[in-house]
């Protein structure tokens, strides 16, 4: 079955009456925003419905959800934040799913840079960009990596912090930082050099999605979360550089 036929069958299964909601708003962690846009485009092409993607740091999106932001579903960059959403009574427990496993990288715009000794490279840098570890799971993973390299004290004066992984990447791209810990997906299309951080240097970056109580009756949001489990969506997620569970 082709991806489009599979999705059409899925949409019928989700809502056999065909009375689908016209639109849904999905809150998406910054690192996954570009991939979510591709997935949304495929879903909309098959369903005829509208999906709006709103991106930001997982912690910031959680704060918006708790203050009544009209999101129908939430794709976080971690597992902890969707669990907090559920604990707050703002997400449906049975809807939670792991849609991707993130990959952390140390990136510089310098072409052909030798990053085989990341410890030495980090020590030589003037500024190292890291996402806020209190808001962004990739920032937390970066902090753990720096700790495991034994560089927490040595880099204390060199760390510059972005609100989310997108801002961190911008800091490196603009030259505000020599290096930065960013999401690996998408780096192959950018100039520069990068080192993939071994997964044993930080906690797994398991990214979960959850249907929010605001969208509990929204067939578009329900269908989109179901689509994330499909072979077609998993292929898009893997092609973007994530590990598709």
Residues 57 and 175 in one domain: no
Residues in the chain where the model's pLDDT stays below 70: 1-21
pLDDT score for 31: 86
Question: What pLDDT, on a 0 to 100 scale, did the predictor assign at position 25?
Answer: 98
Q: Are residues 61 and 22 in the same domain?
A: yes
Quote the CA–CA distance of 170 and 165 in Å, as a whole number.
Answer: 9
Residues 83 and 157 in one domain: no
Asked, for residue 71, whether it belongs to a domain, the answer is yes
CB-CB neighbours of 67 under 10 Å: 7
**Is 208 in a helix, a strand, or coil?**
strand
**Are both 135 and 88 inside the same structural domain?**
no
24 lies in which domain range?
3-101+205-239
- Stated pTM of the model: 0.77
Q: Report yes or no on 148 lying in a domain.
A: yes
Same domain, 216 and 97: yes
- Are 35 and 154 within one domain? no
d(CA 18, CA 167): 41
Task: For residue 151, give the nearest of 106, 118, 107, 175 by alpha carbon.
Answer: 118
244, part of any domain: no
- When divided into structural domains, the chain yields a total of 2
Residues 6+ apart with CB under 8 A from 98: 79, 206, 207, 208, 245
Residue range 148-159, pLDDT digits in tens: 999 999 999 999
Query: In whole angstroms, what is the distance from residue 14 CA to residue 245 CA?
Result: 22
User: CATH number, domain at 27?
Assistant: 3.40.190.10
Identify whether 245 is part of a domain. Answer: no
Q: Are residues 8 and 129 in the same domain?
A: no
- Tell me, yes or no, whether 9 lies in a domain: yes
């Amino acid at each position: 079955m082709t991806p489009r036929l599979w999705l059409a069958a899925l949409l019928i299964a989700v809502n056999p009456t065909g009375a689908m909601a016209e639109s849904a708003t999905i809150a998406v962690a910054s690192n996954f925003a570009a991939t979510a846009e591709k997935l949304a485009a495929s879903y909309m092409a098959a369903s005829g419905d509208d999906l709006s993607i709103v991106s930001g740091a997982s912690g910031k999106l959680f704060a918006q959800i708790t203050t009544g932001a009209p999101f129908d579903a939430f794709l976080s960059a971690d597992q902890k934040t969707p669990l907090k959403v559920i604990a707050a009574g703002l997400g449906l427990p049975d809807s939670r799913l792991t849609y991707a496993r993130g990959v952390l990288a140390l990136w510089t715009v310098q072409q052909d840079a030798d990053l085989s000794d990341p410890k030495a490279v980090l020590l030589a840098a003037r500024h190292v960009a890291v996402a806020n570890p209190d808001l962004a799971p990739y920032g937390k993973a970066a902090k753990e990596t720096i700790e495991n390299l034994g560089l927490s004290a040595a880099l204390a004066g060199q760390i510059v912090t972005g609100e989310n992984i997108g801002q961190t990447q911008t800091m490196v791209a603009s030259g505000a930082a020599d290096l930065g810990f960013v999401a690996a997906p998408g780096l192959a299309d950018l100039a520069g050099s990068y080192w993939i951080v071994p997964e044993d240097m930080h906690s797994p970056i398991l990214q979960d999605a959850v249907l929010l109580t605001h969208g509990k009756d929204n067939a578009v949001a329900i269908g989109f979360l179901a689509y994330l489990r499909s072979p077609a969506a998993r292929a898009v997620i893997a092609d973007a550089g994530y590990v598709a569970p």
